[in-house]
């Protein structure tokens, strides 16, 4: 170890700025513990560094990390890598950096002792009897990742499964895992998540019909079309279409199990002319064909043109262009997204996709901000003109049997801050698909046995949340999902691939039923594509950022409070929005494309730390005002207990001086709703309470008067 890592050097004084504790995922370092470290010699091993080119450490600052201080650090060769609340940063220093160099910096800095367990997700390595574990290892830098990828090849009982940039997927023994965790260049180690398509899997016994030997459905006469099959009517898309907003001129995309036969020329009739390209982006995948059926159904909900149903069953943005990405692995017989998300989203984004739908995730690690969530936040921080949508998951259940769906079932990577996470509300369909009471379904007696859930049906009340839809909050208290859309008994395209499944059953040869947050997400993506067209054409936003589109989607959503069971002891939604069941409400494309008195701000340059910007809206007569702020936050580190890095806050001030504010220091989205207001000019201020990473924080803001 060098002198720098053996000796702790800093000034003894600790200012009020340092009064906050450091909140790591696995432990909290109190201010007293930090102060004690500032006056002692480090005795704990900081870990070795494979490259020898840089050292990595956690520094706690007792004064704000100003731009001038950042420049001073940069002049010394110090790189700021990640933020850890409160006032701590992972840094990389040159190998020649010494305690004398540190003393030249005019700031009080404590180098915090980090143990190997601080780099391990809960449960990793806990099973000592397991011979091998498959883990996702994230290093601080790409250089360190490359060096580690070479080093682990010499580890006994260790296999490098895949490597890209800062991420390694490794199978190793418990003994070698402990050795790995000592590497100071490693940011985080967690179990490799199993990502699945997020349609709700119905037990075969609950399917209404079974396919015959010819692969056709035994149902000879499908139910008459009502107009509710696609779910679009419920979210007001038909009204948006009548106004001319059909997605024309926009490009949407998915990463899923593939689409139909994986060919632009030999494709489902409802997709002809709209699919402009396709890519195989999953590990070990060579085609974007859909041998599972899920991705074709998802694609139809976004851009299906309704050819095979006389226009009755079509996607929300049926005149948009579309890029298909297949992640199905014939080796795993499952989705296999690579850890490098540039490989997942990059091809579609280069082809012009600005709304990208993802109906996949993990049914584990509920609420955790882990490596894949960090990767999504990082991707959107670097691609601010894109909106990524992710399904919340289908782990909703009532295990305590109180008649309400339990919280804390949101699965990664939809726990990411910057994506729009979508839950499932109910469609309205009384024939076809799954029509049993919830308690009559195979898992019903275990998951949904208490009333009023037990007697509920999947698609009988548009103001209800699907029982299976995953609920928030995240482990650090953030609101997820952020929005909901119909996700039960949705009719969309049926893959023509000979191996494709029938999902929740065939409607006919061209369409199939399905349900899950998988289905709610592309319906939301279709609406987002239409709304993006509206923002460009009507609101003169030439290239709306993903943050503005996200803010606008949330701003125009419909609050479903109190839910499908009304008020009373078994009320479904216990509070008005936002809540962890519906987020800020159900998608409303009708309102979104007809909103009247509105102010939009797409602040792509952003605010520096401590600065603010003001906007105004005038009410000509008494009414109400709604303000929605959303921003793509800087990626956090999975080793931190709190994911929010940069903190923007919004206030509304009335002409008489009354102020509305939320003081929300957890979520990168805030909404203020004020009613019974008198006429006058109202001021809205967005303040950068803290910009811990990045020199500026961009944001999207929507203000409307009713």
* 135-144, 326-335, 601-610, 695-704: segment of lowest average pLDDT: 326-335
Q: Is the pLDDT of residue 125 over 90?
A: no
- What confidence score (pLDDT) does residue 1 get? 30
Residue 34, preceding peptide bond in cis (omega within 30° of 0): no
- pLDDT over 80 (residue 201): yes
Q: How far apart are CA 641 and CA 370, in angstroms?
A: 11
Among residues 642, 620, 624, the alpha carbon closest in space to that of 633 is found at 642
Q: Which of 215-219, 247-251, 534-538, 687-691 has the lowest mean pLDDT?
A: 215-219
The encoded tokens of residue 353 equal 């996709």
Looking only at the bridges linking them, the beta strands covering 186-191 and 328-329 are unpaired
Q: pLDDT digit string (tens) for 488-500?
A: 999 999 999 999 9
Tell me the β-bridge partners of 493. 511
Averaged pLDDT for residues 154-168: 89
Q: Which residues sit opposite 511 in a β-bridge?
A: 493
Give yes or no on whether 3-114 and 133-192 have one common fold. Answer: yes
Are residues 453 and 467 in contact, defined by beta-carbon separation less than 8 angstroms? yes
Q: 595-705 architecture in CATH?
A: Sandwich (2.60)
pLDDT (0 to 100) of residue 624: 97
Query: Residue 209: what pLDDT?
Result: 60
Q: Give 229-555's CATH code, choosing from 3.40.640.10, 3.10.290.10, 3.30.70.270, 3.40.50.200.
A: 3.40.50.200
- Residue 287 structure tokens: 């085609």
Query: Is the Cα torsion angle 607, 612, 618, 624 positive or negative in sign?
Result: positive
Which DSSP symbol is given to 354? -
pLDDT digit string, tens, across residues 284-303 = 888 999 999 999 999 999 99
Dihedral over Cα of 494, 498, 503, 505: its sign: positive
Percent of the chain with pLDDT over 70: 93
What's the whole-number mean pLDDT along residues 248-257? 98
- pLDDT at residue 40, rounded to an integer: 53
126: pLDDT strictly greater than 80: no
Q: State pTM to two decimals.
A: 0.94
CA-to-CA dists, residue 595 to 26, 86, 542, 591, angstroms = 46, 40, 18, 6
CA 585/CA 487 separation, integer angstroms? 14
pLDDT at 6 over 60: no
pLDDT digits (tens, 9 = 90+) for 15-34: 334 457 999 999 999 888 88
What is the Cα gyration radius of the chain? 26
- CA-CA distance, 636 to 578, in Å (whole number)? 23
Look up residue 511 and give its DSSP letter: E
pLDDT in tens, 556-598: 999 999 999 999 888 999 999 999 999 999 999 999 999 989 9
Domain locations in the chain as residue ranges: 3-114, 133-192, 229-555, 595-705
Helix, strand, coil percent content, the chain, rounded in steps of 5: 20, 25, 55
Helix ranges, 127-184 (H): 142-151, 174-180
- Mean pLDDT, residues 353-381: 97
CA–CA gap between residue 385 and residue 560 (Å, rounded): 29
Per-residue pLDDT tens digits for 611-642: 999 999 999 999 999 999 999 999 999 999 99
The pLDDT-based confidence of 39 (bands split at 50, 70, 90) is low
How far apart, in Å, are the Cα atoms of 471 and each of 398, 414, 439, 524? 11, 11, 20, 17
Average pLDDT (438-444) is 96
Looking at 124-133, 142-151, 422-431, 693-702, which range is the least confident one?
124-133
Q: What pLDDT is attached to residue 34? A: 85
Tokens 């000034």 belong to: 11
Q: Residue 154's pLDDT band (boundaries 50, 70, 90)?
A: confident
The DSSP letter of residue 23 is E
Alpha helices in 514-654 (DSSP H): 517-537, 546-555, 589-592
More confident call, 14 vs 706: 706
For 643-663, what is the mean pLDDT? 97
* 95 band by pLDDT with thresholds 50, 70 and 90: confident
Taking domain 3-114, whether its CATH number is 3.30.70 is answered by yes
Of 230-234, 272-276, 305-309, 333-337, the one with minimum mean pLDDT is: 333-337
387-439 pLDDT, tens digit per residue, is 999 999 999 999 999 999 999 999 999 999 999 999 999 999 999 999 999 99
Overall fold of domain 133-192: Alpha-Beta Plaits (3.30.70)
Please count the other Cβ atoms lying within 10 Å of the Cβ belonging to residue 16: 8
Summarize the confidence of residues 507-536 as an average pLDDT.
Answer: 98
β-partners of residue 94 are: 54
| Tokens, residue 12 | 């003894």
The closest of 187, 188, 298 to 253, measured between CA atoms, is 298
Provide the residue count of the chain.
Answer: 706
- Quote the tokens at residue 489: 């008994």
CB contact burial 253-276 (16+ within 10 A = b; e otherwise): bbbbbbbbbbebeebbebbeebbb
Res 38: pLDDT? 67
| Mean pLDDT across the chain | 91
| Residue 102 main-chain phi, psi, to 5 deg | -65, -35
3 state DSSP class of 494: coil
């Amino acid at each position: 170890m060098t002198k720098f890592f053996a000796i702790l050097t800093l000034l003894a004084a600790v200012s009020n700025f340092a009064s906050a504790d450091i909140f790591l995922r696995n432990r909290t370092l109190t201010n007293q513990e930090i102060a004690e470290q500032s006056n002692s010699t480090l005795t704990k091993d900081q870990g070795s560094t494979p490259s020898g080119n840089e050292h990595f450490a956690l520094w706690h600052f007792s004064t704000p990390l100003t731009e001038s201080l950042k420049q001073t650090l940069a002049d010394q060769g110090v790189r700021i890598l990640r933020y850890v609340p409160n006032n701590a940063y992972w840094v990389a220093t040159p190998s020649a950096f010494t305690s004398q160099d540190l003393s030249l910096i005019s700031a009080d800095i404590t180098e915090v002792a980090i143990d190997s367990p601080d780099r391990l997700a809960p449960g990793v390595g806990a099973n000592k009897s397991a011979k091998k574990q498959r883990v996702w290892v994230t290093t601080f830098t790409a250089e360190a990742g490359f060096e580690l990828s070479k080093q682990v090849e010499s580890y006994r009982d260790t296999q490098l499964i895949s490597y890209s940039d800062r991420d390694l997927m490794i199978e190793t023994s418990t003994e070698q895992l402990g050795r790995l965790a000592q590497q100071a260049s490693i940011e985080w180690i967690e179990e490799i998540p199993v990502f699945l398509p997020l349609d709700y899997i119905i037990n075969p016994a609950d399917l209404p019909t079974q396919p015959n030997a010819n692969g056709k459905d035994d149902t000879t006469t499908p139910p008459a079309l009502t107009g509710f099959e696609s779910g679009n009517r419920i979210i007001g898309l038909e009204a948006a279409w009548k106004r001319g907003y059909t997605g024309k001129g926009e490009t949407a995309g998915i990463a899923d199990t593939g689409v139909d036969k994986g060919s632009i020329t030999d494709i489902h009739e409802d997709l002809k002319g709209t699919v402009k390209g396709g890519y195989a982006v999953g590990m070990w995948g060579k085609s974007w064909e859909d041998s599972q059926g899920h991705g074709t159904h998802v694609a139809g909900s976004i851009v299906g043109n309704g050819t095979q149903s006389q226009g009755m069953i079509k996607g929300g943005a049926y005149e948009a262009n579309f890029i298909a990405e297949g992640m199905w692995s014939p080796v795993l017989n499952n989705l296999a997204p690579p850890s490098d998300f540039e490989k997942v989203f990059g091809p579609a984004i280069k082809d012009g996709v600005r709304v990208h739908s993802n109906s996949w995730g993990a049914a584990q690690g509920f609420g955790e901000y882990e490596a894949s969530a960090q990767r999504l936040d990082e991707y959107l921080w670097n691609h601010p003109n894109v909106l990524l949508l992710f399904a919340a998951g289908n782990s909703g259940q009532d295990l305590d049997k109180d008649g309400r769906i339990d919280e804390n079932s949101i699965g990664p990577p939809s726990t990411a801050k910057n994506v729009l996470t979508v839950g499932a509300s109910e469609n309205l369909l009384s024939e076809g698909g799954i029509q049993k009471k919830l308690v009559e379904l195979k898992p019903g007696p275990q998951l949904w046995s208490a009333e009023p859930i037990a007697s509920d049906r999947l698609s009988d009340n548009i103001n209800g949340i699907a029982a299976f839809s995953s609920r928030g909050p995240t482990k650090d208290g953030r609101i997820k999902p952020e929005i909901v859309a119909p996700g039960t008994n949705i009719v969309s395209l049926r893959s023509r691939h000979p191996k494709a499944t029938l999902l929740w059953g065939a409607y006919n040869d061209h369409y199939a039923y399905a349900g899950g947050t998988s289905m709610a997400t592309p319906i939301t993506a279709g609406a987002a594509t239409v709304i993006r067209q509206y923002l460009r054409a009507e609101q003169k936003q030439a290239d709306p950022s993903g943050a503005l589109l996200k803010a606008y989607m949330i701003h125009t959503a419909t609050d479903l409070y109190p839910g499908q069971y009304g008020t009373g002891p078994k009320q479904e939604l216990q509070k008005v929005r936002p809540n962890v069941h519906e987020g800020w409400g159900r998608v409303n494309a009708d309102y979104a494309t007809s909103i009247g008195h509105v102010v939009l701000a797409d602040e792509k340059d952003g605010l520096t730390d401590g600065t603010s910007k003001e906007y105004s809206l005038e009410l000509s007569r008494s009414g109400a005002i709604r303000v929605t702020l959303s921003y793509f936050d800087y990626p956090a580190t999975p080793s931190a207990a709190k994911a929010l890095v940069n903190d923007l806050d919004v206030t509304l001030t009335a002409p008489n001086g009354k102020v509305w504010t939320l003081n929300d220091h957890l979520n990168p989205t805030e909404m203020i709703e004020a009613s019974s207001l008198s006429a006058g000019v109202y001021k809205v201020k967005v303040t950068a309470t803290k910009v811990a990473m990045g020199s500026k924080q961009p944001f999207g803001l929507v203000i409307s008067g009713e």
